[in-house]
Amino acid sequence: MKSTVTHFSAKQFAVLLLGGILLIFPGVLGSATGAHCIFAPAAGVASAHIEASRVGVEILQQGGNAADAAVAVSMALAVVYPQAGNLGGGGFIVYRSAEGKNYVLDFRETAPAAARQDMYLDSAGAVLSAKSTLGGLAVGVPGTVRGLFRFHRRFGSLPWAKLLEPAIRLAEEGFVLNRYVSRSIRSAAAAFRKFPGSAAVFLPGGKAPEPGDRFYQKNLARSLRTIALHGERGFYRGEIAREIVKSVQMNGGILTVEDLKQYRAIEREPVVISYHDYRIITVPPPSSAGVVLAGLFNSLQTIDLGRFPFNSPQYIAFLSELEKRYFALRNQLLGDPDFIRMPLEQLYLPQFAARIVKQIDYRHPVPAAEISAQNLLGSESNQTTHFSVVDPAGNAVSMTTTLNGSFGCKLVAGSTGILLNNEMDDFATKPGSPNMYGLVQGRANSIAPGKRMLSSMSPVVVTRHDSLIGLLGSPGGPTIITSVFQVLLNLIEHRMDLQQSVSAPRFHQQWLPDSVEVEKNRFEPAVLEKLKQWGYHIVQRNHLGDVEAIWRKQGGWSICTDYRGNGIPAGY
């Protein structure tokens, strides 16, 4: 069955467009760079799509808890935000119960059993980058459905099938496309045309649907009904599993029914970072978030950051040099803990962080080529999506999920309506060569059967004096970590409110390429000039990250979505 669109009359369209503009660019009424924020006395959701945020609040108001709402939001994002929301991808959850227990669930994709270290190299050893990003060979074993099912079984309260009802409705009855999703589909149109099944879903009538069109995904609705009825087995076994495998193999891939059957979601020990009187709770490897954020915050505990005015040349230079070193460690040392040994104890040590800080003279940047994990020890259009949910009892879910690239590998599996990931590109397909994020990574993250590819996903929960203060996360590949880091710094160190913290300009350094990425037109020319004089290579980027955050405010919650994306918060 094909997906279809309905058209609106010119008048209906004008009303919709105006409403859409106000929803999509809430900042037009104030600053064009202002996060969209609401105050919610009891509970709410910050997500990348208004329909998904509404679904979450619906579930909370029906008596569901944060875990129930998270499952429903995630399923809804798979329908209304198909470039990143998914059934065919993976992710991480940080959950904090109202009683104060922290929990991390890793449902990252794995390499199929037939994967080989050199599977993306030609006979001369050159990287075949299209193979790790487009079509069947790019697909890692999806983890989302098993992850959500397991999370629901442990913490949910409403019936599983009920949580899928809103997603089924949105897929079956359609939803009105906003400009952002429509533009993303148009950008991916050439790739969708390579896969007739994908083109049938995303290019109905042979062309990308327009903003204001109603977008239907009848096949996806059918798959969601199967998963609602049969739970995780509905995805990992039976008709859907067979369709996914057939489609992947017909398009050059190696995924098998056995890979799907064997996939496990894993509970991991949360990383708890102490920063002043705050605790930042996040994820360990196979995400690099915990290690890098711990290193960055530990380092800042050893200096008085207050001596560098916010976003001054000194501030940007110092933090970039710090980020450069922790990304060098990340890119060279980190990977799947079930496959490699990592010096995690050393990397989490405050003394180690202090030593790193001592090496930094911000007026004299050290070229990336002269920085390696070995010498630091002394002897990592992207598409991921994050949402944050808090319920009236104080349970909190911070969840980041991804297909990797926008619409993953662009392949919709057979007649399932399910888009598949291209997460294999997060591996070091050839150690020492850049992946699609320009990350130059090492053997620790090379491909092996069943191995999880290193991630930058950084879902975070923050407490103070053992009380929940907030939760946030972002898409953006490696810029996830630095976006989350800078928003946290703005909140904790610079005492900004959530709206200011999310709206503030961002910069990013990831070791290689050896440059500081800064958001275009958001920094004073004199600041950038000074950085150049000191020897920093400055690259202008439109946006870094798309933060969805919730933070304590006057006995309730400030709930914000980033002006850089298209999310709208919801709460009550």
Binding site for ligand GLY (CB under 6 A): 380, 384, 402, 404, 426, 455-457, 477
Nearest CB to ligand GLY, comparing residues 243 and 423 = 423
- Which alpha helices (H) appear in 265-349, and where do they start and end? 289-300, 313-333, 344-348
Contact 212, 177 (CB under 8 A): yes
| 226 catalytically annotated | no
**Min. distance of Cβ 490 from ligand GLY in angstroms?**
22
Q: How far apart are CA 76 and CA 163, in angstroms?
A: 9
**Min. distance of Cβ 14 from ligand GLY in angstroms?**
38
Nearest CB to ligand GLY, comparing residues 401 and 503 = 401
**Min. distance of Cβ 565 from ligand GLY in angstroms?**
16
**Min. distance of Cβ 118 from ligand GLY in angstroms?**
22
Nearest CB to ligand GLY, comparing residues 259 and 423 = 423
**Min. distance of Cβ 80 from ligand GLY in angstroms?**
20
Output the DSSP codes for 119-179: TTB-TTS-B-GGGGTSSGGGPPBP-HHHHHHHHHHHH--S-HHHHHHHHHHHHHH-EEPPH
**Min. distance of Cβ 545 from ligand GLY in angstroms?**
12
Q: What are phi and psi of 367, to 5 degrees?
A: -55, 145
Nearest CB to ligand GLY, comparing residues 474 and 558 = 474
**Min. distance of Cβ 307 from ligand GLY in angstroms?**
33
Nearest CB to ligand GLY, comparing residues 15 and 130 = 130
Position closest to ligand GLY via CB? 455
Residues whose CB is less than 8 angstroms from the CB of residue 137 and which lie 6 or more positions away in sequence, other chains included: 119, 120, 131, 251, 252, 253, 254, 424
Selection from 192, 112, 37, 80 nearest residue 569 by Cα: 37
CA angle, corner 387, sides to 420 and 409, nearest 5? 15
Q: How far apart are CA 351 and CA 42, in angstroms?
A: 41
Selection from 424, 410, 419, 417 nearest residue 194 by Cα: 410
Q: How far apart are CA 43 and CA 59, in angstroms?
A: 11
Nearest CB to ligand GLY, comparing residues 84 and 531 = 84
Contact 152, 72 (CB under 8 A): no
Nearest CB to ligand GLY, comparing residues 286 and 365 = 286
Nearest CB to ligand GLY, comparing residues 51 and 426 = 426
**Consecutive H or E run containing 452:** none
Selection from 422, 457, 427 nearest residue 441 by Cα: 427
Nearest CB to ligand GLY, comparing residues 198 and 455 = 455
Q: Which amino acid is at 563?
A: Y
Residues whose CB is less than 8 angstroms from the CB of residue 138 and which lie 6 or more positions away in sequence, other chains included: 131, 132, 253, 408, 409, 421, 422, 423, 424, 425
**Min. distance of Cβ 174 from ligand GLY in angstroms?**
28
**Min. distance of Cβ 441 from ligand GLY in angstroms?**
11
Helix (H/G/I), strand (E/B), else coil: 82: coil
Given 110, 282, 384, 429, which residue is catalytic?
384
Across the strands, what pairs with 88?
Answer: 420
Place of tokens 């959850």: 93
Q: How far apart are CA 458 and CA 485, in angstroms?
A: 9
Q: What is the DSSP letter of 33?
A: T
* Helices and strands (H, E) in the chain, number of each type: 20, 22
Catalytic positions: 384
